[in-house]
């Protein structure tokens, strides 16, 4: 068994089954960061407060999940700011100090486009656009928490550890399974049954966020908060635990 630290990050929260996921994680003594959409927080602020009181951390995942490379810079700032204010209010209502300001880009699109290579592009306009968002995050007090021992070369070469948003090192591809169940659309990557994304944990291509066998690094793990829990979320968490992942929160400075 691998035995290594995993930092669990759960995007697109809070869904209709968010509270059930929180309860499930509590039963397994797993703490996690939920990256939340502002529009969903408005709808389910009580659930968000419940999670905060149980020791979970809520991060900012924009207001309504656009591709940041496809909207003007000003609108990117708005997306961050709106949800920031909602989170501020929710933490206040919960009566708990916000431990950190954390941001994750919708689709991981840092502003250079969805199909872009990770890292800073050669295109000057794109660079300025991305830098503009990073500067804004910094100015608003956003920073990465301390994820200990993330040593993947691809991750560090792309500068991901230095950005002011939180990226990931292992992506479960659960959304491709959810997409297949929803619409019958098969992912071009071949991951559309639950089995395929669980087997994928044993692949050995850490450069492609693929496989969890590499012992030399911790992992920042990305899953999603889709409506539903038993079909994908619960078996996925079980598979991580069976794989020997020990979940903990990063250090908030």
Where along the sequence are the contacts to Zn ion (CB under 5 A)?
11-12, 106
The smaller minimum CB distance to Zn ion, of residues 12 and 176, is found at 12
Min dist. Cβ of residue 176 to Zn ion (A): 13
Min dist. Cβ of residue 40 to Zn ion (A): 10
The smaller minimum CB distance to Zn ion, of residues 150 and 175, is found at 175
Cis ω for the linkage preceding 14 (within 30 of 0): yes
Identify which of 113, 34, 129 has the alpha carbon closest to the alpha carbon of residue 66: 113
Min dist. Cβ of residue 56 to Zn ion (A): 17
Determine the 3-state secondary structure of 155 from DSSP: helix
The smaller minimum CB distance to Zn ion, of residues 209 and 243, is found at 209
Min dist. Cβ of residue 75 to Zn ion (A): 17
Instruction: Work out the angle at residue 168's Cα, subtended by the Cα atoms of residues 213 and 251, and round it to the nearest 5 degrees.
Output: 95
What b/e sequence results for 44-77 when a residue is b if at least 16 CB atoms lie within 10 Å of its CB, and e otherwise?
bbebbbbbbeeebbbbbbbbebbebbeeeeeebb
Locate 153 and state its tokens.
């070369």
The smaller minimum CB distance to Zn ion, of residues 209 and 217, is found at 209
C-alpha distances (whole Å) from 158 to each of 26, 77, 168 are 34, 23, 12
In this structure, are residues 224 and 178 in contact, taking their beta carbons and an 8 Å threshold? yes
The smaller minimum CB distance to Zn ion, of residues 12 and 219, is found at 12
Min dist. Cβ of residue 61 to Zn ion (A): 6
User: How many angstroms separate the CA atoms of 190 and 204, rounded?
Assistant: 16
Of all residues in the shown chain, the one whose CB is closest to Zn ion is 11
The smaller minimum CB distance to Zn ion, of residues 59 and 211, is found at 59
Min dist. Cβ of residue 163 to Zn ion (A): 17
């Amino acid at each position: 068994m691998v035995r290594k630290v995993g930092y669990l990050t759960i995007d697109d929260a809070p869904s209709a089954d968010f509270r059930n996921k929180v309860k499930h994680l509590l039963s397994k003594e797993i703490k996690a960061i939920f990256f939340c959409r502002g529009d969903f927080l408005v709808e389910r602020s009580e659930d968000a407060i419940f999670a905060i009181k149980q020791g979970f951390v809520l991060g900012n995942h924009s207001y309504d999940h656009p591709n940041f490379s496809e909207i003007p810079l000003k609108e990117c700032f708005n997306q961050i700011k709106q949800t920031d204010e909602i989170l501020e209010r929710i933490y206040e209502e919960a009566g708990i100090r916000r431990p950190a300001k954390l941001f994750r880009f919708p689709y991981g699109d840092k502003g250079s486009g969805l199909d872009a290579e990770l890292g800073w592009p050669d295109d000057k306009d794109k660079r300025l656009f991305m830098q503009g968002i990073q500067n804004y995050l910094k100015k608003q007090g956003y920073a990465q928490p301390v994820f200990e021992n993330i040593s993947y070369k691809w991750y560090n070469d792309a500068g991901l550890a230095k950005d002011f948003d939180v990226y990931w090192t292992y992506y479960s591809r659960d959304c491709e399974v959810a997409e297949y169940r929803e619409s019958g659309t098969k992912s071009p990557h071949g991951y559309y049954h639950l089995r395929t994304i669980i087997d994928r944990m044993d692949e050995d291509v850490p450069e492609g966020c693929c496989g969890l066998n590499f012992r030399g690094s911790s992992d920042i793990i990305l899953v999603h908060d889709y409506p539903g829990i038993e079909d994908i979320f619960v078996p996925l968490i079980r598979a991580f635990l069976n794989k020997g992942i020990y979940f903990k929160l990063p250090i908030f400075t």
